[in-house]
Structure 1
Amino acid sequence: MGSVTEAIHVMVLPFPAQGHVTPLMELSHHLVERGFEVTFVNTELIHAQVMEALRPANNGGAGGIKGMEGIHMVSVPDGLAEGDDRRDLGKLVDGVRRCVPGYVEQLIRETEASGKANKFKWLVGDVTMAMCFEAATKLGVRVSGFWPASAACYGTMTKLVPMVIPAGSAKRHGSFELLPGMPKICPSQMPWSIDGAPEGQEVVYNLLSENVQATIRFADIIICNSFLDAEPAAFEHFPNILSIGPLFADGELRKPVGQFLSEDARSLQWLDAQPDRSVVYVAFGSLTIFDQRQFEELALGLELTGRPFLWVVRPDFTTGGLSKAWFDEFQGRVAGRGMIVLAHRAVACFVSHCGWNSTMEGVRNGVPFVCWPYFCDQHLDRSYICDIWRTGLEVSHGDNGIVTKEEVSSKVDQVIGDQGIAERARTLKDAARNCLSEKGGSSYENFNKFVDLLRE
């Protein structure tokens, strides 16, 4: 105690991907608001990206980075060499699994030995990083598992992982309902399904299998970035998962949420000039990759809609071969009604890969979806959006696997013009906000239970 404050010190540990860093950063801000001290542990490359994106917010003074008060940003190696491709999930998972637990243990020991901060009392760890849970518990640090995706996805893993073979061997099509009321799932689109060689899928499958068992064994509680009204069946079937979402910190709290790329402030100015609910927002997360033809079809489809659009394009969004001349010509044709920027939220329609963070963002803003899932849990999320909530439509791929410009334009028009979809999206938005209400909201009350546990 002595010279350090009495705040309870919590280590927060995400998997090194945008969809995992963001909700845990949002959770960290909420913990700081409740008086906790947070050390946020990223892998070195992710740490560098987040800090670079935060640089415009750095006030240059002793207070550090504006909006990050109470959160200490630290890094550990990810086990890969400097030139390794970290978009290769199989390789990334293998490196993280081998390397990170030892560094987490070292960080816990060094923090306690230094006396410069309170020793860690809790590890709030991404379930995808549950290989670190044993190291924490053997040093007396209690563990909370954090699941950044849907409760249905976690339930699917706990039910199916122990008794099925990796998705790389599952070629059967069609879909099935795991439990009544749950979103349907296809055997070839399991949560561990990734692009690439079958051995990569097997690495991810093995990681999930190990992490499920480690979470069951070492975590005192499992919290989830979801809310009761979004997944009533999943929470009924898996009552050990505590819903505390949808988490957010970028809107009302105005806090940084750990983006890997700096936001383009011009998008806000451009949006201010557009009519209400007129803009098509397009974003595919941090891992989706399009080849040249699919990229061009998407671009031409957005042009074909005749609507203003806001498109998030990562530097590595498309594989090599996209012509700069073609791209410059396209930008010239859509000048004045289309922008290609780094980050923003939608106003009228969300063309999305259906990552859970994007799904929750769209839900809490009442925005309909055009669904374009890529891999992993995104297919389950699409099932929620299209089949259960009925707040969006999915694009159809042609026989050659390409979604055509006509299909893009058609689905955007259908979604924006469907009043039933709009009404259901508004209803789900109200449900999300009610769950967060201080007046009996289920997520608000669950978060209070979580905070009380951390304070024990």
Structure 2
Amino acid sequence: MKTVLCCNDAARPHVLVIPFPAQGHMIPLLDLTHNLITSNPTLTITILTTPKNKPLVSTLLSSHPSIQTLILPFPSHPSLPPGIENAKDMPLSIRPIMLSLSNLHQPLTNWFRSHPSPPRFIISDMFCGWTQPLASELGIQRLVFSPSGAFAYSTMCFLWKETPKRENEQDQNEVVSFHRLPDSPEYPWWQVSPLFRSYLEGDLDSEKLRDWFLGNIASWGLVLNSFAELEKPYFEFLRKELGHDRVWAVGPLLPEDAKEERGGSSSVSVNDVVSWLDEKEDLKVVYVCFGSMAILSKDQTEAIQTALAKSGVHFIWSTKEAVNGNQETDRNERGLVIRGWAPQVVILRHRAVGAFLTHCGWNSVMESVVAGVPMLAWPMTADQYTDATLLVDELKVAKKVCEGENTVPDSDVLSRVLAESVSGNGAEVRRALQLKTAALDAVREGGSSDRDLRCLMERLRFPLQ
């Protein structure tokens, strides 16, 4: 996205960017920040971070030295062990980290009051809803950034406004109907947002969470990592639900350089991965990865391992768990197992990759869409169930192979699906290529996401228009 806007000294907005310290949330918000400063180099941007999390923004800062950092100590919380500052350190710690971060309200107020040219806007993650009352107190505008898609964000708006309850508190399969959303989707209780399922009416912390999500709905604007053609009905729903048109789809938010490091350490170099893929036929490799948070059980790991062996497919498997007792890289002619971070964007865009077995996290979805790679869906938690619905039932670029973070797939069934996924047949392949074209068109000059970015920049300059 190469849009470049100019502005005079009187119209240089100062934006405070507040990420949520989870990899899947930080990466797209930093990509958005890159796009904003690239579109308008005179923009003043300050990013809030903590000492331990500053390395996560180092790549952005090296590319854009004009971006300032505000480093504040990570506040403590009774439910967080000492030293925990992000979700990577403590999986499934979203709720206590949200509660802990809210204690930055007063330090930020003090910083704002003492700043010679304070921000006129806050752009903060959807898990930082506590910044809405902060912005109101400071008399500035706050924009929510959603690293999830418009469908998933719509379900969150519905849940926290409607607070649906179960008739039988013990029944995890009781169905929740999202009756105001397009096509009235339904999900069993166990597939509903874990944050919402943790809500207890009258509990102080739970009521804080609800107030923050309602604060998201009340915010001045909403920015999503998606694009119009992908989720049009849900963008229409959100504009109606929020009561304004300040809803901007600016995705796919991806790096210009596919080899840019976006995760962490790996047991294999990008060049080694590419060299291994270069030896394979087009569209014959299955890529397997379940994101930065999911930890597979021994039974799940063994089921995938057995299925890959039975299928006979070539594969790359990015995993945190040991495979065959190997804690590092395990490679042979047919498979490459990577412990730790994998160069996912590079892998998905390689001509040899023909399918992606994924947990359906939104970043992975967007990266796969841009690469034109069909998906095999195994949603495990959070927004992954709505993402799978979008991919499988609406867009038809994926097949569901399993669901649930504790479910163990049948290795025989999974092996057949893996083999079929790289057989060269299937409507998913054609539709995936069509979506790839739509995604690339969206971010080209004049495309829908490019236009939304232009509109967003104009509204930052002239917010009352």
Q: Give the TM-score range, shorter chain.
A: 0.7 to 0.9
Distance in 1 between residues matched to 2:123 and 2:414, nearest whole Å: 40
**Structure 2 partner of 1:70:** 66
Amino acid paired to 2:227: F
Residues 137, 198 of structure 1: alpha-carbon distance in 2 compared, 3 angstrom cutoff: closer
Q: Which residue does the alignment assign to 1:144?
A: 143
Structure 1 position 250 matched with structure 2 position 255: yes
The match for 1:130 is 129
- Deviation of 1:348 after TM superposition, in Å, equals 1.4
Q: Is the 8 A contact 1:226 1:244 kept in 2?
A: yes
Out of 21, 26, 30, which is 1:25 matched to? 30
- CA offset at residue 31 of structure 1? 0.9
Show the counterpart of 1:233.
233
- Give TM-score scaled by structure 2 length: 0.79
Residue aligned with 1:231, SS: helix
1:96 matched to 2:94: no
- Residue identity matched to 1:238: L
Shift of 1:205: 6.8
Identity percentage over the alignment?
Answer: 23
Q: Distance in 2 between matches of 1:338 and 1:182?
A: 41
Give the Cα separation in 2 of the matches to 1:336 and 1:297.
21
2:48 alignment partner in structure 1 = 41
1:422 has 2:429 as partner: yes
Alignment CA distance shift 1:163-1:137 (3 Å): closer
CA-atom RMSD, angstroms? 3.5
Amino acid at match of 1:328: N
1:73-222 superposed matches below 5 A: 73=69, 74-79=71-76, 80-82=80-82, 86=87, 91-97=93-99, 99-107=100-108, 109-110=110-111, 113=114, 115=116, 118-165=117-164, 171-173=172-174, 176=177, 178-179=179-180, 181-182=182-183, 184-193=185-194, 209-217=210-218, 219-222=219-222
Q: Does the residue aligned with 2:134 lie in a helix, a strand or coil?
A: helix
Tell me how far apart the structure 2 counterparts of residues 230 and 307 of structure 1 sit (CA, whole Å): 30
**CA distance in structure 2 between the aligned counterparts of 1:16 and 1:436, rounded to whole angstroms:** 27
The alpha-carbon distance between structure 1 residues 422 and 145, as it changes in their structure 2 partners (threshold 3 A), is same
Moved more, 179-188 or 142-151: 179-188
Q: Which of 271, 283, 298 is the matching residue for 1:277? A: 283
**Superposed displacement of residue 138, structure 1:** 1.4
Deviation of 1:177 (Å): 5.8
CA 1:165–1:176 in 2, change beyond 3 Å: closer, same or farther? closer
Q: Give the whole-Å Cα distance in 2 for the aligned partners of 1:298 and 1:421.
A: 22
Q: SS at 1:327's partner residue? A: coil
Q: How does 1:300-315 map to 2 (within 5 A)?
A: 300-314=306-320
Matched residue type, 2:98: V
Q: Tell whether 2:360 aligns with 1:354.
A: yes
Deviations 1:63-110 (A, max 9, x none): x9643533344454153332669566675423432x323425424533
- Cα–Cα, structure 1 residues 293 and 248, in superposed 2: closer, same or farther, change >3 Å? same
Name the CA shift for 1:43/1:298 in 2 (closer, same or farther; >3 Å).
farther
Q: Distance between the aligned counterparts of 2:171 and 2:209, measured in 1?
A: 17
Which deviates further from its counterpart, 268-277 or 368-377? 268-277
In the aligned structure 2, how far is the partner of 1:423 from the partner of 1:437? 22
Question: Structure 1: which amino acid aligns with 2:233?
Answer: A
The 2-side partners of 1:124 and 1:100 are apart by: 15
Cα distance in 2, alignment partners of residues 69 and 210 from structure 1: 36
Determine whether 1:10 maps to 2:15: yes
Give the distance between the partners of 2:317 and 2:204, measured in 1 at CA: 33
The whole-number CA distance in structure 1 between the counterparts of 2:299 and 2:420 is 24
**Distance across 2 between alignment mates of 1:192 and 1:432:** 27
1:172–1:188 Cα contact (<8 Å) kept: yes
Go from structure 1 to structure 2 and tell me whether the alpha carbon gap of 1:255 and 1:293 turns closer, same or farther (over 3 Å shift). Answer: closer
Q: Which amino acid aligns with 2:96?
A: D
Cα deviation per residue 1:243-291 (whole Å; 9 max; x = unaligned)?
Answer: 423233423587665x344684232333333333222111111211211
In the alignment, structure 1 residue 406 sits paired with structure 2 residue 412: yes
Counterparts of 1:215 and 1:403, CA distance in 2 = 37
Change (3 A) 1:110 1:329: closer
Cα offsets for 1:211-256 (capped at 9, x unmatched): 2311233x21111111111112112222246242323342358766
Q: Matches of 1:69 and 1:253 in 2, distance apart?
A: 21
1:389 aligns with 2:390: no
CA distance in 2 between partners of 1:393 and 1:207 (Å) = 38
Unaligned runs of 5+ in 2: 1-8
Is the 8 Å Cα contact of residues 183 and 383 (structure 1) preserved in structure 2? no
CA–CA distance in 2 between the matches of 1:255 and 1:112?
37
Structure 1 residue runs without a partner (length 5+): 58-63
1:60 is matched with none
Per-residue Cα deviation, 1:123-172 (whole angstroms, up to 9, x for no partner): 10112111122113312332111111121222222223233346876623
Amino acid at match of 1:184: P
1: distance between equivalents of 2:61 and 2:236? 41
Summarize the Cα distance change of 1:227–1:189 in structure 2 as closer, same or farther, 3 Å threshold.
farther
Shift of 1:208: 5.2
